[in-house]
Amino acid sequence: MVGCRRIVDCPPDKVCLRYMAWGNPEQLGVEQEMIDRFNGQNPDLHVRLFRVPGSAYGQKMVLMLASRTAPDVLRVDHYNFPALAAKGYFQDLTEFAKKDTGFREGDFFPTAIDEGKIGDRLYGLNALFGGVIMYYNKTLFKQAGLEDPYELWKRGEWTWERYRQTAKALTRFDAQGKPRVFGTAIPPFPATSVAVWGFGGDLMSPDMKKSEVDSDGTVRAYQFLADLVWKDHVAPTPAQGANSAFAFESGKLGMTFDWMGMTPRFRKVVKSFDWDVCPTPKGTAPRSNVIKGNQLVVSANSRHPEAAWRFIRFLTSEPTETRLCAEIRRAFPTRIGVANSPAFLKTDQAPFNTRAFVQSAEGGRTLPINERWGEWTQIFNSEVDNLLAGRERDARTVLRRAKARIDAALAEDPGF
């Protein structure tokens, strides 16, 4: 049968919804907790969690959307959101939002709202929101006699050059020349966009029809990153970092860029040293941090879109975000009020610089993700890998070649 399938064990006197999300058992346990709260507060509705292993989630989601058998509500990674929305798989939520007197876009960070829109139409509300933040090993900083980077950032002195000099001061080799501690590590794309934007570069044109990966700022950024590995020797090569010997948790890495969502993991596994967080280094652009989330959407085949909207609103409500973001620290709040609340900012365990998360979000911008994101980033990564792996050393040559290949691909009919 095309459309929503009957929900097993659904009370006959209720409107029943299915909700599809991914995560490890602990994360899905949190999802179930939220569902139980919603069901208890909404006696006319009943939501059931539709569990799919994370490794199979994307394929299963696409198959169910294409066959019009998808659950009523789904969590979609923003990397996939524009392409799936373009196929008409999601309900347009604009009118639901307009009629909902309790919903105000101004309550949310603008980037959180922007990611859920196609043009000026709302197709999803953001969840598991957050940006790239710099985690740093405070113990190594103290041993090297270095000033705290967050204090430098607050004074406007935490720049990319200061970061480079700090990485040099943190790096240690033994008598045989083997690395003992690296000052930093090169993050994977798209986290490297913090450097691209910080150096005044860009990735795509505003209309996203041509690449700008060969712009001067982008070239400077990638040359800077490559030189950290191959010239300054303050970051592990891909081979040195392959076995996680210099992962942040090992205590052998001074600084690393990662998503805000890594906080619960570091709290759980890091016991041998002190650590904290800091916004990424300041560059020439006022908004250079990467901020991204996932979208909660209503499938086009849902028979109960208004009820599904109520559930999405609950998942992005102030009480739910306080639980998820302030108490559990699973993500950064989409709501400005929750992000600036004492519940979120006060903590009795690392990271203590919680205001840095807010400052990073305020200085964040969305990635140039559209329906062809996967196509052009595959080309881009294949070229940049040559630079960061040391097979080529000149960023301008690599990025000019990447631009030519990307533009040629974008000029072709995508076939959808």
* pLDDT tens-digit series, residues 57-97: 999 999 999 999 999 999 999 999 999 999 999 999 999 99
pTM: 0.92
* pLDDT tens-digit series, residues 197-219: 999 999 999 999 999 999 999 99
Res 3: pLDDT: 43
CA gap 48, 69 in Å, rounded: 15
CA gap 40, 52 in Å, rounded: 24
- Cβ atoms of 289 and 360 within 8 Å: the answer is yes
Res 386: pLDDT: 96
SS3 179: strand
Res 12: pLDDT: 81
CA gap 315, 385 in Å, rounded: 38
Token pair of 231 as six digits:
């010239």
> What are the structural domains of the chain?
15-130+291-366 (3.40.190.10), 134-289+370-411 (3.40.190.10)
Res 242: pLDDT: 79
Res 330: pLDDT: 84
- Cβ atoms of 280 and 358 within 8 Å: the answer is no
Res 27: pLDDT: 85
Neighbours of 280 (CB within 10 A): 27
CA gap 88, 241 in Å, rounded: 41
Q: How far is CA 325 from the centre of its chain?
A: 15
- Residue ranges, the chain, pLDDT below 50: 1-5
Q: Where do we find the tokens 């712009």?
A: 215
Q: Where do we find the tokens 């934007």?
A: 197
* pLDDT tens-digit series, residues 251-296: 999 999 999 889 988 999 999 999 999 999 999 888 889 999 999 9
Neighbours of 71 (CB within 10 A): 26
- Cβ atoms of 134 and 290 within 8 Å: the answer is no
